[in-house]
C-alpha cells in the first residue's frame, strides 16, 4: 500500500491537493476518519440531496468530492491516523485493525477544531458547540430546537440563518463583546473580501428580519440544568443580568488548528497571536520543518475553506516539484493564480481575527469552571497550582492531570495556557505548545501488538 503521497484529511485542502497531485502523476492515498469525503465544512456533501436550507456555499463542496474520482487517488474512509513514523509511514486504524501506509511525502490537512468555550456549566448535557449543531444539520438533517446561540464569530450568524431557513429559529443570539470598531483599520484590506463581507451582512439582515432577540456585549456566562432537563442560561450585558431558558445552548468562539499530529511528530510550531493559537511553522508552500512533510488548510493556521483549497493545491504543486514531476517554472506558473485566490480568501482574516478576538474570561474562566473535561480539573485548582510553581504546561499536566484523558488536551490546552498566563503574568506565546505523544487517538493493545512480528515468528 505504498504511495507517493499520503494525505491525511479529506476536507477542502486534502481533496484539492489529492486531485492536483494525482493529475501530476503521483499515486495518492487519502486518509480520513469520516465515512465520506468533505471534511467538516462539506460534511456529507456527496450524500445529501435536497438540503437547500444549508446554502449554496455548502453545495459547492460537491465538485471537490467528485474530483477524487481519479485512478491515482485511493480514498480510505474511516481511517483514523494515530501516528506518523518518520521511517515506516503513516499508521492508521479502521475497525480495530491498524495499517501502515509508507509514503515518500506526507500532507497533513487535518483542519480545525472549535475553540473550547469554557464557563461554569459548559459540560452539561444540553450544551454544544455551534459547529457541532451544524454537523448534525448536515449529517442527520437535525435542527436545534429552541436553542440559544452564544459567543461570537461569523459561524454563529451562519448557523442562525440556517436554523431560520430550516424553520427552527434560535430563541436568542447572545453575542460576546466584539471589537468591530477596533478592527475597522483592517477593513481596507478586507474590501478584497467584499463578497464574503456582503454575505456576512446578508446573514445579519436575515437574523434581524426574523426578529431574533439579540444581546450584545454579553459576559459572565453560566449554565445550569432546570428540573425538567432544560438549560437555564445566565449572563450579563453591562450592569444588567439576564436569565434565559432554552432546550440547547450552542456556543462558539471561532476555531483553532488541530495540531496533535504535527506536534506529535516534533515539527516546529509557532504561536499565532492574532488567532491565539499554536500552529506548525510552514513556508509559503506549506512545507514544515521536515522537508517531506507538508501541512495545508486550517491545520496550518485558520483561513477557511477557500484558503484551504488554495493551500492544498499549492502544497501539491510543491510536492510534485519535489518528486521531480514538475519543474520550478511550471510550479510557479500554476501557483500564481492560486496565490491570488489565497490572498483574496485571506483578505478578511485580519479583520475577523481582530473583530472576534476571544474575550479573556473564556481564556481564564471563573474558578468553578471545569477546564479539563476528561479529568475534571477546575480553573480554581489550576490557578492555585500555577501560583505554587506549576508554571508550565508540563508541570501542570503532571501536577493535576490536565490533558491526560482520552482527548489528550484538545479541550483544555488553550484554557490551561490562558490560566497559567494570567497567574504568572506571562504571554501565552511563552507557554506551549504542549508536547503531544502518540497514539493521538486511542487504539487497543491488540491492534498495536498486531503491527509487529507475531510471537511465534520471533522466537
Q: In degrees rounded to 5, what are phi and psi of residue 434?
A: -60, 150
Residue 104 CB, nearest approach to another protein (Å): 18
Shortest CB 25 distance to another protein, Å: 30
Q: Which listed range, 276-284, 285-293, 328-336, 406-414, lies at the site for another protein (CB under 8 A)? A: 406-414
222 - beta bridge partners? Answer: 234
Cβ neighbours for 334, distance < 8 A, ≥ 6 positions apart: 317, 326
For position 129 contacting another protein by CB under 8 A, the verdict is yes
Near another protein by CB under 8 A: residue from 332, 340, 376, 427 = 376
Q: Which of 2, 63, 97, 145 binds another protein (CB under 8 A)?
A: 145
What b-and-e string marks burial along 297-309, b requiring 16 or more CB atoms within 10 Å of the CB? bbbbbbbbbbbbb
Distance CA 290, CA 86 (A): 10
* Pick 320 or 393: Cβ nearer another protein: 393
Per CB under 8 A, the list member of 102, 404, 422, 429 interacting with another protein is 404
Residue 120 touches another protein, criterion: CB under 8 A: no
Contacts (CB under 8 A) with another protein, residues 75-104: 80, 83, 85, 88, 91
Which residue lies nearer to another protein by CB, 357 or 402?
A: 402
Which one, 241 or 398, has the nearer CB to another protein?
398
393 makes contact with another protein (CB under 8 A): yes
- Please compute, for residue 222, the number of CA atoms within 13 A of its CA located in the half-sphere on the CB side: 11
Closer CB to another protein, residue 352 or residue 443? 443
By CB under 8 A, tell whether 244 contacts another protein: no
CB-neighbour burial class of residue 167 (10 A; exposed 0-12, middle 13-18, buried 19+): exposed
C-alpha cell at 256: 483553532
Least spacing, CB of residue 137 vs another protein, in Å:
7
Report yes or no: 80 and 440 within 8 Å, Cβ to Cβ: no
Q: Which of 69, 228, 425, 457 binds another protein (CB under 8 A)?
A: 228
C-alpha radius of gyration, the chain, whole number:
22
State yes or no: residue 405 binds another protein (CB under 8 A). Answer: yes
Exactly one of 59, 132, 179, 341 binds another protein (CB under 8 A); that residue is: 132
Residue 125 CB, shortest distance to another protein, in Å, is: 4
Residues that contact another protein, how many (by CB under 8 A): 83
Cell numbers placing 71: 485512478
Binding mask 185-224 for another protein (x = CB under 8 A): ----------------------------------------
By the rule CB under 8 A, 139 interacts with another protein:
yes
Q: Which stretch binds another protein (CB under 8 A): 293-301, 307-315, 349-357, 441-449?
A: 441-449
Among the residue ranges 64-72, 210-218, 279-287, 447-455, the one whose residues contact another protein (CB under 8 A): 447-455
Please give the residues from 16 up to 35 whose contact with another protein meets the rule CB under 8 A.
33-35
**Burial classification of residue 135, based on how many CB atoms lie within 10 Å of its CB (0-12 exposed, 13-18 middle, 19 or more buried):** middle
Residues 259-288 touching another protein, rule: CB under 8 A, are 266
Q: Counting every residue, how long is the chain?
A: 459
Q: Check if the beta carbon of residue 13 is closer than 8 Å to that of residue 297.
A: yes
Tell me the C-alpha distance between 181 and 187, whole Å: 10
- Binding letters toward another protein, positions 37-76, x by CB under 8 A: ---x---x--x--xx-x-----------------------
Q: Sort 241 into a burial class: Cβ within 10 Å, 0-12 / 13-18 / 19+.
A: exposed
Out of 153, 297, 303, 439, point to the residue binding another protein (CB under 8 A): 439
Helix (H, G, I), strand (E, B) or coil at 297: helix
Task: Work out whether 168 is an interface residue with another protein (CB under 8 A).
Answer: yes
Cβ atoms of 347 and 190 within 8 Å: the answer is yes
> Backbone phi, then psi, for 168, in 5-degree steps?
-130, 65
- Residue 71 or 125: which CB sits closer to another protein? 125
Asked if 144 touches another protein (CB under 8 A), the answer is yes
Indicate the burial class of 225 (C-beta count within 10 angstroms; 0-12, 13-18, 19 or more).
Answer: middle
179 counts as binding another protein under rule CB under 8 A: no
How many angstroms separate the Cα of 118 from the Cα of each of 144, 157, 344, 396, 415? 21, 21, 33, 18, 8
Amino acid at each position: 500500500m505504498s504511495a507517493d503521497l499520503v494525505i491525511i484529511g479529506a476536507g477542502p485542502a486534502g481533496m484539492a491537493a489529492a486531485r492536483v497531485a494525482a493529475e501530476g502523476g503521483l499515486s495518492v492515498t487519502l486518509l480520513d476518519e469520516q465515512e465520506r469525503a468533505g471534511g467538516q465544512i462539506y460534511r456529507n456533501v456527496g450524500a445529501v440531496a435536497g438540503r437547500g436550507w444549508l446554502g449554496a456555499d455548502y453545495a459547492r463542496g460537491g465538485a471537490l468530492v467528485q474530483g477524487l474520482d481519479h485512478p491515482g487517488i485511493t480514498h480510505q474512509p474511516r481511517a483514523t491516523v494515530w501516528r506518523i513514523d518518520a521511517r515506516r509511514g503513516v499508521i492508521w486504524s479502521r475497525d480495530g485493525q491498524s495499517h501502515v501506509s509508507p509514503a515518500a511525502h506526507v500532507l497533513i490537512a487535518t483542519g480545525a477544531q472549535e475553540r473550547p468555550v469554557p464557563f461554569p456549566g459548559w459540560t452539561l448535557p444540553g450544551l454544544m458547540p455551534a459547529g457541532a449543531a451544524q454537523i448534525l444539520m448536515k449529517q442527520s438533517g437535525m435542527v436545534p430546537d429552541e436553542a440559544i446561540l452564544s459567543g461570537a464569530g461569523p459561524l454563529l450568524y451562519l448557523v442562525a440563518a440556517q436554523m431560520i431557513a430550516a424553520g427552527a429559529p434560535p430563541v436568542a443570539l447572545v453575542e460576546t463583546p466584539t471589537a468591530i470598531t477596533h478592527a475597522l483599520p483592517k477593513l481596507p484590506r478586507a474590501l478584497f473580501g467584499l463578497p464574503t463581507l456582503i454575505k456576512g451582512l446578508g446573514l445579519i439582515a436575515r437574523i434581524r428580519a426574523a426578529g431574533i432577540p439579540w444581546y450584545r456585549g454579553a459576559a459572565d456566562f453560566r449554565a445550569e440544568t432546570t428540573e425538567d432537563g432544560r438549560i437555564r442560561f445566565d449572563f450579563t450585558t453591562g450592569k444588567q443580568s439576564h436569565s434565559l431558558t432554552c432546550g440547547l445552548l450552542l456556543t462558539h468562539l471561532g476555531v483553532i488548528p488541530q495540531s496533535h499530529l504535527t506536534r506529535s511528530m516534533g515539527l516546529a510550531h509557532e504561536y499565532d497571536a492574532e488567532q491565539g493559537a499554536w500552529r506548525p511553522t510552514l513556508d509559503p508552500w506549506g512545507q514544515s520543518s521536515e522537508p517531506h512533510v507538508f501541512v495545508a488548510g486550517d491545520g496550518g493556521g485558520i483561513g477557511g475553506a477557500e484558503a484551504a483549497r488554495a493551500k492544498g493545491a499549492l502544497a501539491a504543486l510543491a510536492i510534485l516539484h519535489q518528486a521531480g514531476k514538475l519543474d520550478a517554472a511550471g510550479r510557479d506558473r500554476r501557483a500564481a493564480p492560486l496565490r491570488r485566490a489565497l490572498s483574496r480568501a485571506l483578505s478578511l482574516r485580519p479583520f475577523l481575527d481582530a473583530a472576534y478576538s476571544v474575550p479573556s474570561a473564556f481564556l481564564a474562566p471563573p474558578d468553578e469552571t471545569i477546564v479539563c473535561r476528561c479529568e475534571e480539573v477546575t480553573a480554581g485548582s489550576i490557578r492555585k497550582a500555577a501560583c505554587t510553581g506549576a508554571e508550565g504546561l508540563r508541570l501542570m499536566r503532571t501536577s493535576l492531570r490536565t490533558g491526560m484523558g482520552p482527548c489528550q488536551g484538545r479541550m483544555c490546552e488553550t484554557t490551561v495556557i490562558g490560566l497559567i498566563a494570567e497567574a504568572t503574568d506571562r504571554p501565552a506565546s511563552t507557554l506551549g505548545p504542549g508536547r503531544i505523544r502518540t497514539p493521538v487517538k486511542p487504539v487497543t493493545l491488540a491492534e498495536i501488538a498486531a503491527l509487529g512480528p507475531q510471537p511465534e515468528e520471533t522466537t
